[in-house]
Amino acid sequence: MFNLSWLLSPFAKTVFFEEVWQVVPKILSAGRSGYFEPLFSKHAVERVIEFCQPRPPSIRVHSATSDQQVEVPFSPDGRINVDRLRKLYFQGQTVILNSVEDFDPCVARLARSIETEMGARVQVNSYLTPPSAQGFRPHYDTHDVLVAQIEGEKRWKVYGSDSVCPLNEMVDGGPDLRKSTQPPEEIHLKPGDVLYIPRGWVHEATTNQIASLHLTIGIHPPLGKDLLNAAIEALVGRYPELREALPVGPLNVPEKRECLVNRFAQLVELFSTHATADEAARVIDDQLLRRGRSGGDGHLFKDIEQIHCLKSDTTLERRLSIPCRVVRTDDGAGLQFLNGLIKGPANFEVAMDFVASNTAPFRVSDIPGLLEDHQFLFASSLISDGLCRLSRADSHKI
């Protein structure tokens, strides 16, 4: 249910990627009051604070009207002082929860689904802003953002692009840093609305007489520099030249120049000769695979207890929050996900392709290319290693 298509509906996902993504800010969906009630709420914010007890920087408070950073209050017993936190909120401080996907299962499923589809790292932050307040002054983000307005209303001002493809180490910009600035586009978000802001576009947001809760879904796609870094990472294990230490001490001095120039030329030659885009892409995909999660669906341990009860008509479901792929191994094929690998002989590759590409439930007997005994063996591995779960109906029957 919680995926990119659901988030943008009825705005077409294909149009988003072809015409909007990293091009221009845009309201993608509007007029969906109550749409995000199954996803997140103020009650969920309170639940995270009270029962998860996040620590800074996972929880912060901030106000655009204050030049001093206010710390999250803690009681002597080490727990968040909710009474003092509520008073800070009443005084105009925005309560921020970073990486909500680490605390809330619904948000986690949405984040992992977008990660899998876009091949990009996703982090979701929540912002609870009191009435007539502003969390941050004008700034730009160094990643693309989808803003999901959960409750209340918020008025955004988007000033334009301040930097082409900015990075975290680049200085944040604002209208006050420019020689000239265009009048901002003003956007009024209501519950259920979704706003897209590309990285580098300066923006600010304020509440009116109504408090606001919104999620920012930060999307961090692999960059050009990541592709080159991944290509080097793929070579490190094979070529000791990349693992050898450089000369001791400061490098940019005349007596080391000739040595470093020669060393640099040798490494560039090694890279240009042996680095490949395929290996670099595999390294980046590996990083994404390791970010998969079980989804907290309540089946992770229960299903293991029922493996011995598998039947031909038992129905399995792949955990879509866990990306996977089929790889070739020295002695056959493998289904790779998280930090694990389900191995099998070459004739298992068809079955592995079936599981990796299938988003619908399937019966054990539906697994193609395998004899019945091997179907049960493969299905048992899928459940015990956590890539698949028993369907809810079969879980109750077994």
- 292-340 residue pLDDT tens: 877 677 777 888 888 988 999 999 999 888 889 999 998 999 999 988 8
Residue with tokens 């298509």: 5
pLDDT of residue 320: 82
Every domain of the chain with CATH number 2.60.120.650 lies at 4-220
- What is the pLDDT, as a whole number, of residue 191? 98
Report whether 360 contacts 392 (CB < 8 A).
Answer: no
> Shortest CA distance to 62 belongs to which of 141, 129, 10?
129
Domain made up of 304-397: CATH architecture: Alpha-Beta Complex (3.90)
Give the amino acid at 377: L
Q: Which of 84-98, 181-195, 295-309 has the highest mean pLDDT?
A: 84-98
Across the range 40-48, mean pLDDT stands at: 98
CA distance 54 to 56: 7
CB 195 within 8 A of CB 147: yes
Interatomic CA distance for residues 131 and 133, integer angstroms: 6
Q: What gap in Å lies between CA 19 and CA 13, rounded to an integer?
A: 10
> For all residues of the chain together, what is the average pLDDT?
92
Q: Boundaries of CATH 3.90.930.40 in the chain?
A: 304-397
Predicted local distance difference test score (pLDDT) of residue 140: 87
Residue of 131, 126, 134 whose CA lies nearest to 46: 126
Instruction: Tell me if the bond preceding 76 is cis, omega within 30° of 0.
Output: no
Element (H, E) at 168: none
Token pair listed for 241 = 């030249």
On the question of a cis peptide bond just before residue 57, with omega within 30 degrees of 0, the verdict is yes
Most trustworthy range by pLDDT among 153-157, 165-169, 294-298? 153-157
Selected residue with higher pLDDT from 12 and 200: 12
Q: What is the pLDDT of residue 343?
A: 95
40 CB burial (10 A radius; 0-12, 13-18, 19+)? buried
Q: Which fold has domain 4-220?
A: Jelly Rolls (2.60.120)
Note the pLDDT of residue 66.
87
**Residue among 355, 351, 335 nearest 343 (CA):** 335
Distance CA(346)–CA(328), nearest Å, equals 8
289: tokens are: 């695979």
Q: How far is CA 102 from CA 94, 179, 294, 324, 397, in A?
A: 20, 41, 12, 21, 32
Which are the contacts of 47, defined by CB distance < 8 A and separation ≥ 6? none
Both structure tokens of 149 = 């307005």
- Would you state the structure tokens that stand for residue 143, as one six-digit string? 């990643």
Q: What is the DSSP code string of 198-231? A: -TTEEEEEE--SS-EEEEEEEEE---HHHHHHHH
Q: What percentage of the chain has pLDDT greater than the value 70?
A: 93
